[in-house]
Amino acid sequence: MSWVEVLGFVTGALCVGLVVRQNVWNFPIGIANNVVFIALFVTSGLYADASLQVVYIGLGLAGWWAWQRGGPRHTTLLVRRDPRWGWVAALGGTIVGTWAVYEVLSRHTDSTVPVGDALTTALSLVAQVMLNRKWIGNWVVWIVADVLYVVLYATKGLWLTAALYAGFIGLCLVGLRTWRATLVGVDVDPAVSAGDRMGVVP
């Protein structure tokens, strides 16, 4: 266990806690967490996870803006149900993303866990995009990813990080329940789905 792993634990837990509360400060804290994890994962040979943190920084900046200005007439974004097409896109993105990352890892790195690294990377990217749009289903995808992360990090001897992700599973369950209490609408109708595809928030 290193001070880098400890710092990653603290910033990661704080970030997810803020997401549960729909506090926009989760984004700057999350970006700091990404920087810490880049250093941790590179030294552990988890190259896809390290690269994922760089992408997270970009997504974090986009989400930071979206949560504050992504609502109607640039107002605060509200929690919404996932449109049906969103789940199809999420599944497709996970499959394609896993394959693409696996190809890179297996051909160009010495990764010892290319399948697990690729799958968790793809799931995390999909979950973050859903989170940026405040789709409630992001919690479901995060739970799946976090379960796999616990196994992955444990096999690499990153016990504190594995414990952090085990804690994330509990926070995700709390987040799912909390977000449901503030959910906008009951169902997503075709007009709303079409609006989402055009980047319009209902």
DSSP codes of every residue in 118-140? HHHHHHHHHHHHHHHTTBTTHHH
Phi (first) and psi of residue 184, to 5 degrees: -90, 125
pLDDT in tens, 145-200: 999 999 998 988 889 889 888 998 999 999 999 999 988 543 444 344 434 433 33
In a domain, 153, yes or no: yes
Query: Which of 5, 2, 26 shows the shortest CA–CA distance to 131?
Result: 26
Give the 3-state secondary structure of residue 1: coil
Q: Measured on CA atoms in the order 172, 173, 174, 175, is the torsion positive or negative?
A: positive
Which has the minimum average pLDDT: 19-23, 42-46, 122-126, 158-162?
42-46
Give the 3-state secondary structure of residue 182: coil
In a domain, 202, yes or no: no
Name the pLDDT band for 1 (thresholds 50, 70, 90). low
Q: Measured on CA atoms in the order 20, 127, 147, 136, is the torsion positive or negative?
A: positive
Range of the structural domain that residue 36 is part of: 3-73+81-197
Tell me how many domains the chain contains: 1
Mean pLDDT, rounded, of the chain: 85
